[in-house]
A = this chain, B = another copy of it.
Amino acid sequence: MRTEILCVGTEILLGNIVNTNAAYLARQCAELGLTSYYQTVVGDNEERLMEALKIAAQRSELILLSGGLGPTEDDLTKEVCAKFAGKKLVMHDGSKERIAAYFSARGLKPTDNNWKQAMIPMDSVVFENNNGTAPGLAMTAGEVKMILLPGPPNELIPMFEESVKPYLQKLSNDVILSQMVKLCGVSESAVETQIKDLIDGNTNPTLATYAKTGEVHVRVTAKAESQKEAQKLVKPVVKELKRRFEKDIYTTEADVTLEKAVVDLLIANNMSITCAESCTGGLLSARLISVPGVSEVYKAGFITYSNKAKRKLLGVKKGTLQKYGAVSEQTAYEMVKGLLDETKTDVGIAITGLAGPGGATPEKPIGLVYIACNIKGTIVVHECHFKGNREKIQESSTSYAMMLARQCLLEYISKVTFGKKE
């Protein structure tokens, strides 16, 4: 069913709030197999909302609206939809009772404008609001279905889960299944070149690539009459991607991040990790610590911003810093070596670089970053050249470090496993 999302609210138009409702509803549509081609935002304005409804009704069969169901004069979504559909507003006794109960439970008295929220367009289906006073509604305007939802996410989301999703499931015939294949250490254009035949040769499932800093995600999406059939379409394509990219793929699960993949690998192999950061200032540790359950493998980390800190905390030699500078292969090597010597951890990562804006020299430009990984004494150092502002260079550095840690870990594990087999 061709669906679109129409969010009503001047605060979105002014950029005062980010439209997370649209993203939530879009994900729900994708899961329900509702094809969504457009999202629109209009302010709390009768004329422009009416225009937006007309446009939406011409190109879609289902319109999901959010916002503008509040008690104030500004809120006019329901009124405009009723007008658009040519339906009268009538008092809904159930909603009236719920509003009365909502206020009395809080020891408050409803004001006159609160009863406005109990008025509904004739022949509407009412979705109860367990977290506020505005009921949700399903109604039709000619051939077009409209679902009206309250704006606050803490009202919209539970209402959708509890009432709207079951209502929509009954309307839909198709199932849409998406699988994410996430890669690191390869560029988007390289991935695209390598799977051009798959992109061009497939219409169901479809393939699409998305670039993230240091990562590429490939989404494989199939449409079928059942979950099982959709899986049958997706599976061989994912298998082929795995064959082509092998170890560049760090997960095929939508909610697994690169840092989670690294932490999972560490937990599975009973190995601990620590970081020594200069130009990233704690961001690498913070990315690891964003993973719930990381305490099993991460105990401590160091931010060694000054030369003195590199010497005192990690044992980098004064001569090394003098001869090669803080941003050098040699310093990165000694940082990551000292890091494991000091902490007796299994895996260490060190980053030293120039994030800018100051500090560049002809030999050492902004964006020059050395990233070192030490696994039980085996050390590698990579020289990287990143672009962008300070923030972007820091982000690229942590992504690269995460990728390098994963790569070294996989190599180490495969050797150890191989050794055991002998």
Contact = CB atoms under 8 A, between A and B. Distances in A.
B29 A23 contact: no
Given A40-B41, A130-B388, 10 more contacts: A15-B28, A39-B39, A74-B208, A107-B385, A113-B193, A130-B389, A154-B213, A282-B289, A283-B283, A290-B391
B178 A70 contact: no
Interface string A112-142: 0110000000000000001110000000000
A331 interface: no
Given A282-B289, A292-B390, A105 B38 contact: no
Contacts of A20: 18
Contact of A23 (B19, B27, B74): B19
A303 B288 CA distance: 12
A315 to B, nearest CB: 14
Contact of A281 (B193, B288, B304): B288
B37 A48 contact: yes
Interface string A33-70: 00011111111010010011001000100000000001
B38 A26 contact: no
Interface of A: 10-20, 22-30, 36-43, 45, 48, 51-52, 55, 59, 70-74, 102, 105-108, 110-111, 113-114, 130-132, 152, 154, 158, 178, 187-190, 192-193, 196, 199, 208-211, 213, 219, 275, 277, 279-286, 288-290, 292-295, 298-306, 308-309, 312-313, 356-358, 367, 385-392, 394-395
Copies of this chain held together in the complex: 2
A211 B356 CA distance: 30
Contacts of A29: 15
A113 B211 CA distance: 15
A72 B72 CA distance: 47
Nearest to A293: B358
A301 B282 CA distance: 8
Contact of A304 (B13, B187, B300): B300
B385 A105 contact: yes
B37 A131 contact: no
A105 B295 contact: no
9 contacts: A15-B22, A15-B28, A15-B30, A38-B41, A132-B387, A154-B388, A285-B303, A294-B305, A301-B305
